[in-house]
Structure 1
């Protein structure tokens, strides 16, 4: 089944950062500066971008852990409900089997 909710916030942010990075690199490469100035500027920008991406990856990891923990809690909270439902189904099958078997003996 397809998910029609559209792109996630993380995907939009990653696309934005990628576009911003590409635009900045293009602007630096086309700017009228010396090669050394351009390389220094690119190094500075790369370090800053690396730090931002590390922060973003850390936040994404934290969000993933939080969602996984919520999922575990949900499963644990629903486990007893599912166990009760399965047991009720078994009991109903046992009663029905006994009823059917009891009806065969009197016929």
Structure 2
């Protein structure tokens, strides 16, 4: 019946799992505890999230930097190859022009 509405078993399971996680988080925050304990838990969780976010940001910056470096190297290689090809083309053209001038003379 759920399949008819466009819900797969996977999406239902993920929804159930996310609901459980949110419920557990709310239970921790709303459970009868002293204010100090609740604030300490919130602070610890916030610090953990901050550390993980900083770690992910650092990794992302490193990957981006590495990718940019590789792209710059590739660009320089291609630029060098194109420059060589253009120079070779000019030399070949100049040789042909000089051959034609010699034949006309």
Q: How would you bin the TM-score normalised by the shorter chain?
A: 0.5 to 0.7
TM-score in terms of structure 1 length: 0.53
Of residues 32, 35, 41 in structure 2, which corresponds to 1:34?
Answer: 32
Partner of 2:64: 64
RMSD between aligned residues: 3.3
CA distance in 1: counterparts of 2:74 and 2:53, whole angstroms: 31
TM-score in terms of structure 2 length: 0.54
Which gives a bigger RCO, structure 1 or 2 (Cα 8 Å, sep 6+)? Answer: 1
- Which structure 1 segments of 5+ residues have no match? 1-21, 103-107
- Which structure 2 segments of 5+ residues have no match? 1-18
CA distance in 2: counterparts of 1:56 and 1:47, whole angstroms: 14
Secondary structure, in 3 states, of the residue corresponding to 2:59?
Answer: helix
Shift of the alpha carbon at 1:43? 1.4
Larger radius of gyration between Structure 1 and Structure 2: 2
Instruction: Go from structure 1 to structure 2 and tell me whether the alpha carbon gap of 1:68 and 1:23 turns closer, same or farther (over 3 Å shift).
Output: farther
